[in-house]
Chains A and B, each alone.
Chain A
């Protein structure tokens, strides 16, 4: 089972709690996380990535709880996280940056360097391996970010708004890549883009105001739409705003 949340509380220092008593398990396979702005999607992924630790309750994967210091490294090795903004490390080439990310995730320098080409191959960036990251386009940088989660062979990959700001062609390319790398991994993608959702994801999670409104198969989600031709937008609107 992918990442699970048990009685999880979390809030930022100066805000109201984002989650209170959250009990939830991400479905296996490829999951899309939907929700309006401020629903807590990035926070949920941040908790799953162990970027944040819950103030109460626990997050776990394969019995490893990142709140426990002894489990944290093991957990982080298994869970890869790509934030919304992928920033190049000044001075590093694409292969060097991916390799450095692998080293940060516990690979030896040599091993990270050896594995980087395969990760770049998976995201179709092999020809740009020796280019400075700072010279890449936004779409290419997102693929570098994805390669950084692949280089250490993460079992769970968390992608926070990976296609935000990309043009339609880049979005399509990124979706195809996600499809390719997600065969044997759990992939959780937070997004506002709902097109082709049914082709890409096996499960849908809808989050609103820190509460999971829906978690289940894509087909079940679409069934919430009461239109003649079920649409993601309609199902989403019914769950989040009660509109029809």
Chain B
């Protein structure tokens, strides 16, 4: 039969508009948060496709399985192997899935002009594996379940599986589904391969169980046991693989920096931001000097988007939409403690009181405009700092150093900052 005729008869063709419309929701909703790196773009494109297209694929596959059962194909004493029959029926569904993926990548790629590199093939392959597994599960379900049960079950069931674990605990649950939206990746991150391994493990186990169910309706304890145990084993192994992951699957990136030297300071940005390296260096080198003078801290040898110790190496973020104020502000926040100290029983009152004013003061001294500070920190914090800025330089420095210490310790109270 000509391929066009086979495609015409497949429900996948008629489900395409639904897939397309639904795909645009997660995709366009998350586009503004897309960072300038291909792992992040790949995660967005694949997660949106997995979320929007896979449930439809599974439901359509359930219909295809039902269709073959209704048409007596399993009793037709054919010579084609079960996998061939499955592949031929699932081909239009797979085609629709690939089309969805291509569309998602087309939309995402339009947001990545000039960003070097390309899609992360491992993330892409994992997503395709997840989609294939659920499509096979749909085919197998269609072989046994009535369409009024099988199709909605696959459509809603898979959607729930992809949508809800990211809002549930335990945290490792979300890393099993293959729907990685918001799980990764800022430009300074890479996707933790353990999450991909877990998703692949579970997908393969689902596919194997689905195939065992598809290949023969003959009941045997071994087959039934395998259909139950294989995915259970896959789930167990996958959960074990990601047991230590937190809410996100990103981990710090180890390499990929490009550097230049400006005013004696080595400035490094991610290679995706090579074109902004000179401009970033021109912003951060003088800002670092101003911070050093104002706060009485030693000049850094290196300012980098990679790992920094806050002493000889400072951290900066020069994102795709960052203004010069944003870049300087990130330099300031990178220099301050990342989080409050763990104070037994008392919480961290100093942090709650002093963090914002200290940040605003340092950012103001580093050159961030007052308007931007008011936007970022609120007018109250700016008003507090205004009083500090009226003090002599030495007194300002003492104020800063005392409050910086208060941010790091539990036994020191902030000074010169009214508690709100």
- Chain A contacts of B6 at CB under 8 A? 96
- CB contacts under 8 Å to A, within B1-27, are 1-3, 5-6, 9-11
Query: Complex Cα distance A89/B85, Å?
Result: 14
A91 and B67 within 8 A (CB): yes
| A31 is an interface residue with CB less than 8 A from chain B | no
Interface size class of B (residues with CB under 8 A): 20 to 34
> Which of B1, B70, B72 has a CB less than 8 Å from the CB of A113?
B1
| B77 is an interface residue with CB less than 8 A from chain A | yes
A89 and B78 within 8 A (CB): no
| A11 is an interface residue with CB less than 8 A from chain B | no
Interface flags for A48-90 (1: CB within 8 Å of B; 0: not) read 0111000000000000000000001100110101010111111
Interface flags for A87-115 (1: CB within 8 Å of B; 0: not) read 11111100011011101111001001100
A106 and B80 within 8 A (CB): yes
- Chain A contacts of B3 at CB under 8 A? 109
B71 and A96 within 8 A (CB): no
| B79 is an interface residue with CB less than 8 A from chain A | yes
B73 and A109 within 8 A (CB): no
> Which of A13, A96, A104 counts the most B-chain CB atoms under 10 A from its CB?
A104
A96 and B5 within 8 A (CB): yes
- Least CB separation from B10: chain A residue: A91
> Which of B1, B5, B71 has a CB less than 8 Å from the CB of A88?
B71
Query: Complex Cα distance A92/B5, Å?
Result: 9
A79 and B67 within 8 A (CB): no
Known: A86-B72, A87-B70, A89-B71. A112 touches B1 (CB 8 A): yes
B75 and A51 within 8 A (CB): yes
- Least CB separation from B5: chain A residue: A96
B72 and A99 within 8 A (CB): no
B77 and A87 within 8 A (CB): no
- Chain A contacts of B75 at CB under 8 A? 51, 83
Interface flags for A21-58 (1: CB within 8 Å of B; 0: not) read 00000000000000000000000000001110000000
B76 and A90 within 8 A (CB): no
B67 and A105 within 8 A (CB): no
B9 and A91 within 8 A (CB): yes
Known: A87-B72, A89-B67, A91-B67. A49 touches B77 (CB 8 A): yes
- Chain A contacts of B219 at CB under 8 A? 13
- Chain B contacts of A86 at CB under 8 A? 72
Query: Complex Cα distance A72/B77, Å?
Result: 10
A88: min CB distance to chain B, Å:
6
| B230 is an interface residue with CB less than 8 A from chain A | no
> Which of B1, B10, B71 has a CB less than 8 Å from the CB of A87?
B71
Query: Complex Cα distance A86/B72, Å?
Result: 7
The tally of residues in A whose CB lies under 8 Å from a CB in B reads 32
- Chain A contacts of B2 at CB under 8 A? 109, 113
- Chain A contacts of B76 at CB under 8 A? 81, 101, 104, 148
Query: Complex Cα distance A99/B6, Å?
Result: 11
- Least CB separation from A113: chain B residue: B1
| B68 is an interface residue with CB less than 8 A from chain A | yes
B33: min CB distance to chain A, Å:
41
Q: How many A-B contacts if CB must be within 8 Å?
A: 67
Known: A86-B72, A109-B1, A113-B2. A76 touches B67 (CB 8 A): no
A104 and B70 within 8 A (CB): no
Query: Complex Cα distance A101/B68, Å?
Result: 11
- Chain B contacts of A87 at CB under 8 A? 70-72
Query: Complex Cα distance A101/B85, Å?
Result: 11
Query: Complex Cα distance A81/B10, Å?
Result: 26
Query: Complex Cα distance A86/B85, Å?
Result: 19
- CB contacts under 8 Å to B, within A95-138, are 96-97, 99-101, 103-106, 109, 112-113
Query: Complex Cα distance A111/B85, Å?
Result: 17
B71 and A104 within 8 A (CB): no
- Least CB separation from A85: chain B residue: B72
- Chain B contacts of A85 at CB under 8 A? 72
> Which of B1, B67, B77, B80 has a CB less than 8 Å from the CB of A90?
B67
- Least CB separation from B147: chain A residue: A90
- Least CB separation from A98: chain B residue: B1
> Which of B3, B6, B68, B79 counts the most A-chain CB atoms under 10 A from its CB?
B79
A181: min CB distance to chain B, Å:
19
- Chain A contacts of B80 at CB under 8 A? 103-104, 106
- Chain B contacts of A112 at CB under 8 A? 1
B85 and A104 within 8 A (CB): yes
A76 and B72 within 8 A (CB): no
Query: Complex Cα distance A109/B4, Å?
Result: 12
> Which of B9, B11, B77 has a CB less than 8 Å from the CB of A79?
B77
A104 and B72 within 8 A (CB): no
B68 and A89 within 8 A (CB): yes
A89 and B77 within 8 A (CB): no
> Which of A73, A77, A89 has a CB less than 8 Å from the CB of B73?
A89
Query: Complex Cα distance A87/B66, Å?
Result: 12
Known: A49-B77, A105-B78. A89 touches B10 (CB 8 A): no
A50 and B67 within 8 A (CB): no
Query: Complex Cα distance A77/B79, Å?
Result: 7
Interface flags for B57-83 (1: CB within 8 Å of A; 0: not) read 000000000011011110111111000
Query: Complex Cα distance A86/B10, Å?
Result: 20
Q: List 16 A-B contacts (CB under 8 A).
A: A49-B77, A51-B77, A76-B78, A79-B77, A81-B76, A83-B75, A89-B71, A90-B70, A96-B5, A96-B6, A97-B71, A99-B1, A105-B78, A106-B78, A106-B79, A109-B3
Beyond known contacts A76-B79, A105-B79: 19 more, CB 8 A cutoff: A76-B77, A76-B78, A83-B72, A83-B75, A86-B72, A87-B71, A88-B70, A89-B67, A89-B68, A89-B73, A90-B67, A91-B67, A92-B9, A92-B71, A97-B71, A100-B1, A104-B73, A105-B78, A148-B76
